[in-house]
A and B are shown apart, each in its own frame.
Chain A
Amino acid sequence: MRLSVTAGLLSLALSALPLVAAEPRPVLHVTGQVADGAQAFDISELRALPATTLETSTVVTDGTHRFTGVLLRDLLTRLDADGDMVTAIALNDYAVDIPVSDFDKFDVILAYSMNGEALDRADKGPLWIIYPRDAHAELQDIRYDYRWVWQLSEIEVR
C-alpha cells in the first residue's frame, strides 16, 4: 500500500516539477490585519525563512514523524500581524478559527516537509499546521486536533 502511495507521489512530483520551475506559484496567502495588506508566499520564500523541526505523532497516521517548517508566531511577527484570532483555510475550503495565543503557548509550525520529504498537494501538502502534540498532554484533545489544517492555502488574521 505504502509502496503504491510512494509511487503515486513520485509520478505527481515528476509531473509538477517543470510547472514549479517555470513559474513559482504562491502557496500561502496571508490576509486581514497585517501591516502591508495581503501577502503571498511561494514555497521557496517559506523555505528561506528560519526553519524549526519537531517530532510528533498525528491522529491520522501511525507512529511519529519529523516535521520541518516555520514557527507560526515568527511568521505573524514578521508580517506585523495584529489580531487575536486567525482563520486557517484549506484548498478544499475547510476553514477553522485558531486563537493566536496557541502560537505563543506552543511551538506550532507551518510544516512544509515530513521526514525530510516535501509535503505534496496530493497528500497533505504543501503546508500543514503541526502542533507539538507529544510534548503537551493538553494538545491530545479533539479540540486541538481540528486545528491541524493540511493543504493550507490562506491565513486570515482577525
Chain B
Amino acid sequence: MRRLGGSGLGLILPLIAILVFAVLLTFSLLRMVEVETDIRVDAERNMLWVLHQSESAARRLIETTMRAELGEADAEEIALRIDLLRSRFALLQDGPQQRFMTEIGLQRQLAEMHATVQALQPPPEDFTAAEARQIRGAVTHFPAFFARAANKTMIREWDDLGGRLETSRDQLRQIIASLIGIMVTGVILTVTLFLALRLTRQRNDMLRRERDFSALLISSSGEGILAVDDAGRCTIWNPAMAAMTGRAAEQAMGRKLSEIAGFFDIAPMRQAVAASLGGKTTTLALQPYFRDAHEPPLHVDLRISAMRNDGRVVGAIVFMHDASDRHAARQKEAETRARLEHLVAERTRELDDALTRERSAANLYRNFAGMISHQFRTPLAVADSALQRLIRRGARADADEIAERAAGARNAISGLTRLVESTLDAARLQAGQVGARRVACDLTAVLEMVRARQCTASPDTRIEYHHAEAVDAIVLCDPAHAEQVLENLLSNAAKYAEPDTAVSMHLHHDDAHVHCDISNAGLAIEEADRAQLFDANFRGGNSIGTQGTGVGLFIARSLARMQGGEVSLLPDGTRVTFRLSLPRLEGATE
C-alpha cells in the first residue's frame, strides 16, 4: 500500500513539475516577445531630432534674411532656406510625425504655421530689404514654437520612456520569476530523474540477482528440469536432466524435444507439452525411460506445466523425477501381496475344510441319540435274529449251524463294537485331533464286508457289485466311518427299492477321489426334498410307510465330511443314486 502511494506520488510530482515547467516557459517566452517588440517599435521615434532640425531650419532662414538685408546673402540662398524649412514641415505633417504632434496638442498650430510657410514667396533676384524683413516677420515666432514643441516632446518622451521602462521592468521581473520557477521545476525534475534512475538500477540489480538465483536453483536441483519455448525448442536443460538422460546440455539446447530423445516423442509426452502450451498442467507417473536398449529403464515421474510471462504462455517447463526406487518398491509390494493372498486363500481353504469336518462331528454328536437308535439297531437286530434262530433250533441245530449263527451274531456285535469305538474316538478327535484317525484303506474290502452284512440283514434283496477296470480304491479315511456310511447308503437303497429289483454298487475314481455310487430303482425323490434330504430328522415324501429315523443320510454325510469326503445325491436319472466320495490316498499325498 505504501509502495503504491509512493509510486503514485512519484508519478504525479514530475507530471506537475513538467506542467509548471511548460506553463512558465510559455509565459516567459510570451513576455520576452513583448519586450522584444517594444524595443523595436520604440527605437523608431526620433521626434526631438526632427524638432531640433526644424528649429534649426527656421533660425537659418531668419539668419539668412538678416544677412540679406546686410547684402551678404542673395535670393537663391533665401529660396534654399525656405525650401529647407518647407521640407521640415512636410516631414512633420507626414504620417507618424503628424500623429505625434496631434498627441502633444500642437498639430493645429503647426498646420497654421505650415500654411504660412507655404504662402511664402521666394524673393526676386533684386529683392529689397523690406521684402527680406517681411519673410523674417512671417517666421520669426517659429523657433520659439519649435523650442516649446521640443520641450513638450522631451517631457512626453520621458514620460513615455518611464512608462515603457516600468512595463519592461515588470515584464522582466515576471520573466525572472518564471525563470526561477523553471529552475526549481528543473531541479525537481532532475532529482526525480535521478531517483528514478537509481530505482531502475536497484531493480535491475535485484532482477539480475533473482535471475542468478533462479539459474542456481535450476542447476543445483536434484530434479531434472527442462524448458521449451513456444516453438518447442529446448531453452533449459539442467545438470540433473543431463545425468538422468545421459545427454549433455550442449546436445539438447536449441533443439526440438523429439530430436533429443525418443522418449519425448511418445504420444502422452507430446500431448502433455501441447496441453501445457495451452495452459494446462499434466502429471505423468512412472514412465519408463530407456537410456540404453540393454539396460533396465529408469522410471520417471513427470510434471509438465506452462511457463508464463505477464499472463501469456511463452513455453513449457518439464520437471522429471527419477522414481525408479518407488517403482521397484511398488513391484515388490505387489509381489508380496500376491503371495500373501495365495497363502491366505490356502489357509482359508484348509480352515473351511476343518470347519466342515468340525461341524459334521458336532452335528453327529448332537444327534448321537438318534444315531444310536438307528445305527446300533441294525447290528443288534442281526445278532438278536441269529440268537433267536439258534434258540428255536435248539437241539436240532448241529455244530456247524451253531457255529455259523454264532459267527453271524459275533460279526454283528464286532461291527457294533467298532462303531462304538469309532464314535468314541470321534469324540476324542473333536477335541483337536481331526483327521488323526485317517488311514489308508482299501474301499473294496469295506464294500465287500458291508455287502455281505446287508445280504444277511435282508436276504431278499439282490445286490449287484461291479467296478471299473483297474480301479484304484485306496482311500484316506477312517474305515469304521466309511463302513458306516456305506452301510447306511446300502440299507437305504435296499429299503426303498422296488420289490424284485436289484440294488447296484459301482466303484470308480477320478484324479482326486474314489467314488462309490449306490443306486436302486426306487421312487424318484421329489425336487423339493432334494435340498433337505441330508438334514437331520428329515424324511422325504417317498419314505411314508417305511420304517426310519430320518438321520441315516445326515449321519452318512457328517461322517463322510469328517474325513474330507462327501455324500451327495446325483442328479435325477432313471435310478436314484447316492455317491460316497473319499479322497484318494495318492491324490492326497501328491
Contact = CB atoms under 8 A, between A and B. Distances in A.
A22 to B, nearest CB: 12
A92 B118 contact: no
A120 to B, nearest CB: 8
B93 interface: yes
Contacts of A122: 82-83, 86-87, 90
B53 to A, nearest CB: 7
Interface string B60-87: 1000000000000000000010111011
A1 B115 CA distance: 10
A121 B87 contact: yes
A61 B92 CA distance: 10
Interface in A77-125: 91-92, 94, 120-124
A49 interface: no
A145 B83 contact: no
A51 interface: no
Contacts of A135: none
Interface in A56-94: 59-63, 91-92, 94
A8 B118 contact: yes
Nearest to A153: B80
B56 A11 contact: no
A145 B41 CA distance: 13
Interface residues of A, number: 27
Interface stretch (B95-103, B147-155, B559-567): B95-103
Q: Place the interface of chain B in its size category.
A: 20 to 34
A7 interface: yes
Contacts of B43: 141-142
Nearest to B90: A123
B78 to A, nearest CB: 13
B114 A124 contact: no
B111 A15 contact: no
Contact of B118 (A11, A124, A150, A151): A11
A12 B83 contact: yes
Interface in B480-520: none
A4 B90 CA distance: 10
B111 A124 contact: no
A94 B122 CA distance: 23
Contacts of A91: 80, 83-84
B212 to A, nearest CB: 64
Given A11-B118, A92-B53, A92-B57, A1 B87 contact: no
Contacts of A4: 114-115, 118
A129 to B, nearest CB: 15
A17 interface: no
B115 A60 contact: no
B87 A124 contact: yes
Contacts, number: 65
A28 to B, nearest CB: 15
B527 interface: no
A92 B54 CA distance: 10
B94 A60 contact: yes
A21 interface: no
A139 B95 CA distance: 20
B544 to A, nearest CB: 153
A60 B82 CA distance: 21
A85 B57 CA distance: 28
A94 B96 CA distance: 21
B448 to A, nearest CB: 157
Interface string B88-126: 001101111110000000000001001100100110000
B590 interface: no
A5 interface: yes
Contacts of A140: 40
A23 to B, nearest CB: 11
Contacts of A7: 118
A82 B115 CA distance: 46
A62 B96 contact: yes
A57 to B, nearest CB: 10
B250 interface: no
B44 interface: yes
A1 to B, nearest CB: 6
B96 A60 contact: yes
A50 to B, nearest CB: 28
A61 B40 CA distance: 17
Contacts of A123: 86-87, 90
A63 B115 CA distance: 25
A142 B90 CA distance: 21
Q: Name the residue among A8, A62, A124, A151 with the largest chain B CB count within 10 angstroms.
A: A8
B44 A142 contact: yes
A99 to B, nearest CB: 21
A60 B97 contact: yes
B86 A12 contact: yes
B98 A1 contact: yes
Contacts of A145: 44
A151 B86 CA distance: 12
A59 B111 CA distance: 21
A150 B114 CA distance: 20
B127 to A, nearest CB: 14
Contacts of B53: 92, 94
A59 B445 CA distance: 167
A92 B84 contact: yes
B93 A5 contact: yes
A121 B90 contact: no
B56 A92 contact: yes
Contacts of B118: 4, 7-8, 11
A151 B93 CA distance: 17
Contacts of A150: 87
Nearest to B93: A1
A95 B274 CA distance: 99
B480 to A, nearest CB: 152
A94 B567 CA distance: 167
A64 to B, nearest CB: 12
Interface in B28-72: 40, 43-44, 46, 53, 56-57, 60
Contacts of B122: 15
17 contacts: A4-B115, A7-B118, A8-B118, A11-B118, A12-B83, A15-B122, A60-B91, A60-B97, A92-B53, A92-B56, A92-B84, A122-B82, A122-B86, A123-B90, A124-B87, A142-B43, A151-B84
Given A92-B84, A123-B87, 17 more contacts: A4-B118, A8-B90, A12-B83, A15-B121, A59-B96, A60-B95, A61-B94, A61-B95, A63-B95, A91-B80, A91-B83, A94-B53, A121-B83, A121-B87, A122-B86, A123-B86, A123-B90
Those 7 A-B pairs whose CB atoms lie nearest each other, nearest first: A62-B95, A122-B86, A8-B118, A122-B83, A121-B83, A123-B90, A142-B43
